[in-house]
Copies of this chain bind each other. A is one copy, B any other.
Amino acid sequence: MSKLGQRIDQANVVAAERLMDSQPVLIDVSPAAEAIPGMTPKSILHAGPPVAWERMCGPVRGAIMGALIYEGLANSPEEARELAASGEIHFDPCHHHQAVGPMAGVVSSSMPVWVVLNKSFGNFAYCTLNEGLGQVLRFGAYSREVIQRLIWMRRVLGPSLKKAVAISGGINLKNIIAQALQMGDECHNRNVAATLLFLKEILPHMLDSDLDRSTIKEVSEFISGNVHFFLNLSMAACKAAADSILGLKDSSVVCTMARNGTDFGLRVAGLGEWWFTAPAGSPQGLYFPGYTQEDANPDLGDSTISETVGIGGFAMASAPAIVKFVGGTPTDALEYTREMYEICVAKHRDLQLPALDFLGTPVAIDLRRVVETGIAPIINTGIAHKEAGVGQIGAGILRAPMECFQEALIVFGDQYG
């Protein structure tokens, strides 16, 4: 093997070790403006690689319009659309602010966010709180119900969880993910167990706080009533791990995969902030009654941060029941995971898959192997309606587009060759 090849291999082992050694700990819940570096009252963060208003897809536009109404910057969808198009709003990817967001991934200044510290490497990661399924902002809906829920989350949910998290002294999210993988979750589109494990962790601290009983009941029922509640915690945990390799010299390990609903974006550890993009793909999936693939927006959201660090689609062997949500069969789920070992540097020491005889999850995607094998990373995902204002219409599975891996490998070769 060439000297360069050896250097890359060594850097990739370091990358895999960092991803595995990461210890994401939930330490706070705060308004985005207080927690996230560089947020202003007129900032709106969104999922995926950079994209201007003109090229944004329907659900991202819808979510931005909803956020502007929620922030009191606009009084109607029409006003919001005008303001968004006016140039006054500062749009930026979540990923440029140590943050991630599911689907549209829209974060505005007063939204409460999870604050996660990677205790092993000292970096922080942020993500909003999960709203539930159906008519929700992240799928592009902005009805009164959506805005009212967001206001309740700002007034009640965020501050309540802030108190409980403070009393907890920090909640280790990796432990929850490791347990949930033993309980049929893959922690991207199935978070049934992880959500209950989180409830179990947070509950005693809520009871120890000065929150009144009715608030504790309201908050705990909101958590336990939403099987996707843990998703945003899982994402923040994965982002905290992924950022530990961002800019790692010589490494060809993928450190970001994210979609804005128009483009799929890829970043590689050794190439730092450089985005490689390709048109966002179309998931094959299961649709809610009344909808078909015709209605679907292309692939959307930062939640591919799960697959980036080896869970989600990569851990589907652990979650046979997820196929009722995203399609396919339990055998497919096993095969997806088995295939992903082909493109990954390591098997995770701490995250194990019982159905594969406790093999570690495939972790640290090597750009070179993706291109050499022609095996694109598997992703499972929610599906948003392509029009602003509708919401979720299904869930499915797809591959990351090979073009941006090929392009990234050429640039990687130029940089290091």
Which residues of A line the B interface, CB within 8 A?
179, 182-185, 192-193, 196-197, 199-200, 203-204, 207-208, 213, 216-217, 220-221, 224, 320-321, 323-324, 329-331, 354-358
Contact = CB atoms under 8 A, between A and B. Distances in A.
B203 A207 contact: no
Main secondary structure on chain A at its contact with chain B? Answer: helix
Contacts of A208: 217
Contacts of A324: 358
14 contacts: A179-B192, A184-B193, A184-B354, A196-B197, A196-B199, A199-B200, A204-B220, A204-B221, A207-B216, A207-B220, A324-B358, A329-B357, A330-B358, A355-B355
Nearest to A220: B203
Contacts of A224: 200, 203
Contacts of A320: 354-355
A381 to B, nearest CB: 20
A200 B196 contact: yes
Nearest to A320: B354
Nearest to A207: B217
Identical copies in the complex = 2
Given A184-B182, A354-B330, A355-B330, A217 B204 contact: yes
Contact of A196 (B182, B196, B329, B355): B196
A272 to B, nearest CB: 39
A356 B329 CA distance: 10
Given A196-B197, A197-B196, A321 B182 contact: yes
A393 to B, nearest CB: 24
Nearest to A356: B330
Given A183-B185, A199-B200, 11 more contacts: A179-B192, A182-B321, A183-B321, A193-B193, A204-B221, A320-B354, A320-B355, A324-B358, A330-B354, A330-B356, A331-B357
Contacts of A204: 217, 220-221
Nearest to A213: B207
A220 to B, nearest CB: 6
A333 to B, nearest CB: 9
A121 B358 CA distance: 42
